[in-house]
């Protein structure tokens, strides 16, 4: 998979932050398929566009948190979710770890950290799909 072929959905309640992340991702060579600011739209876009990775803030507009949106998304898909948050309290970070094993970054974060997490999430997804295909062939 080429970087430019990687489709990322950004779920962030602050448009300025979301726009900055989008710019950084595009400068790294990734494709950004959209920006949404609430959990409901994140679930809809995830189902509709099937991104390769979702960058999800924990605090979103509306009633649903990023943690709740992630739980809903991962019920029906294997899209890796990487959390990005300004919250550093232990309780929030523990909940985020439970909801996603693909990384949690506190803002601000470096491009190197973000790119490494995206690559790790993509490799994990590719390996999971490969193992599932291999099991299906052996059945």
User: Residue 55: which of 5, 94, 20 has the closest Cα?
Assistant: 20
For the chain, the straight-line distance linking the first and the last C-alpha, in angstroms and rounded, comes to 27
Q: Is 55 exposed, middle or buried (0-12, 13-18, 19+ CB in 10 A)?
A: buried
More confidently predicted of 131 and 32: 32
pLDDT at 135: 78
pLDDT at 89: 80
pLDDT at 57: 94
User: Residue 105: which of 128, 125, 86 has the closest Cα?
Assistant: 86
Tokens 């990775």 sit at which residue?
Answer: 53
Mean pLDDT over 110-127 rounds to 90
Number of domains in the chain: 1
Checking if the pLDDT of 72 tops 70, the result is: yes
41: domain CATH number? 3.40.50.2300
Q: Domain of residue 50: give its range.
A: 3-138
Confidence grade of residue 29 (pLDDT, cut at 50, 70, 90) = very high
CA 114 – CA 107 distance, rounded (Å): 11
- Computed over every residue of the chain, the mean pLDDT equals 89
Q: What tens digit of pLDDT does each residue of 35-68 get?
A: 999 999 999 999 999 999 999 999 999 999 999 9
pLDDT at 101: 64
CA 29 – CA 23 distance, rounded (Å): 10
User: How many helices (H) and strands (E) would you count in the chain?
Assistant: 5, 5
Mean pLDDT over 105-120 rounds to 89
Checking if the pLDDT of 1 tops 70, the result is: no
């Amino acid at each position: 998979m080429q970087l430019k072929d990687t489709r990322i959905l950004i779920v962030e309640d602050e448009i300025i932050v979301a726009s900055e992340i989008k710019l950084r991702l595009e400068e790294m060579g990734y494709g950004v398929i959209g920006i949404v600011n609430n959990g409901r739209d994140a679930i809809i876009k995830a189902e509709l566009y099937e991104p390769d990775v979702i960058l999800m803030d924990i605090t979103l507009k509306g009633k649903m948190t990023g943690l709740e949106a992630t739980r809903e998304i991962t019920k029906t898909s294997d899209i890796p979710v990487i959390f990005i948050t300004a919250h550093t309290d232990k309780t929030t970070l523990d909940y985020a770890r439970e909801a996603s094993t693909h990384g949690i970054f506190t803002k601000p974060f470096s491009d190197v950290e973000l790119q490494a997490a995206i690559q790790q999430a993509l490799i994990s997804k590719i390996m999971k799909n490969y193992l599932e295909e291999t099991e299906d062939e052996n059945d």
